[in-house]
Amino acid sequence: MRPRFSPIFRQHASLMRATLLAAGLVAGLSAALPVQAQATPAASITMEGQGSVSVSPDMAVITARVVSTAKTADAALSENSAALSRIIAAVKKQEIEPRDIRTSGFGIFPRYKTASSSSGGQPAIVGYEVRNGIEVNVREIGKLGDLLTLVVNNGANSVDGIRFEVSDPDEKLDEARKKAVEDARHKAEVFAKAAGVDLGGIVSIAETGTQMPRPVMMRTEAKALLSSNPVPVETGEQTIGANVTIQWALK
């Protein structure tokens, strides 16, 4: 004879079966999910390195100009062109390549007389001024002094300036970059040794700045160059630099 249970007992039994089933499902799902380990940050060291190279400018750019005035634009232009042609011919005789010679700054300008009451307040044109310039790349600094005197003696009456430059700045910058990396590694090795660890592989490396040489300007009056003696020239030194930041893993 099967035992008979009260309705209240049967209701509690059903609730218990449902609770046990839910607990079993949760346990099964937890077992199926992968266990995620807590990520532990790897030990590392970050250092900044600096490198620089001192260089002497090895080329210069001369900017000279011929300024001619005359009563007519035609006459001023003719005089100006003749003087500039003499300068170019003289420069070429100094074994300066055509690619290093270029004209620049050509212009024709009217010259006015101050207005008077008799002219009705309108300024009158009394002549014309023609300007034309020449830029010469001097790749042998030793020729610079002679060339400055040469262009003035052949008709240049305005020397706008002399610009000193480095002909291969990118190569010198690469040298500075190598020194910056060496500097950063040296610092990292000192710290790692002091801490009793070894450097591992590089995690990241980034260039954080560069220093390029700026053109050095030298200005002088054309009259000061009217001499048979070459102009004394001192180029001085400039600095090319690089900064780098490198991160290493620590073993």
Average pLDDT over residues 98-106: 92
Contact 143, 68 (CB under 8 A): no
Domain boundaries of the chain, sorted by first residue: 44-54+171-211+244-250, 59-165
The per-residue DSSP string of 52-112 comes to EEEE---EEEEEEEEEEEESSHHHHHHHHHHHHHHHHHHHHTTT--GGGEEEEEEEEEEEE
pLDDT band at 221 (very low <50, low <70, confident <90, very high): low
The pLDDT value recorded for residue 158 is: 84
pLDDT at 135 over 90: yes
Tokens of 91: 């420069």
Average pLDDT over residues 123-141: 91
Average pLDDT over residues 111-134: 81
The pLDDT value recorded for residue 9 is: 43
CATH number for the segment(s) 59-165: 3.30.70.2970
- The string of pLDDT tens digits covering residues 201-215 is 999 999 999 998 776
Strand order in the sheet with 158-165: 101-113, 124-138, 59-70, 158-165, 216-218
Q: Which architecture, in CATH terms, is 44-54+171-211+244-250?
A: 2-Layer Sandwich (3.30)
Classified as helix, coil or strand, 126 is: strand
Q: Look up residue 150 and give its amino acid.
A: L
The C-alpha atoms of residue 101 and residue 92 are separated, in whole angstroms, by: 9
Classified as helix, coil or strand, 156 is: coil
pLDDT band at 230 (very low <50, low <70, confident <90, very high): low
- The string of pLDDT tens digits covering residues 25-81 is 444 444 444 444 444 457 999 999 999 999 988 888 989 999 999 999 999 999 999
Q: What percent of the chain has pLDDT over 70?
A: 73
Strands 44-55 and 238-250: antiparallel
- The string of pLDDT tens digits covering residues 147-186 is 888 898 898 988 877 888 888 899 999 999 999 999 999 9
pLDDT at 12 over 60: no
Average pLDDT over residues 128-132: 95
Q: Is the pTM of this model over 0.85?
A: no
pLDDT at 3 over 80: no
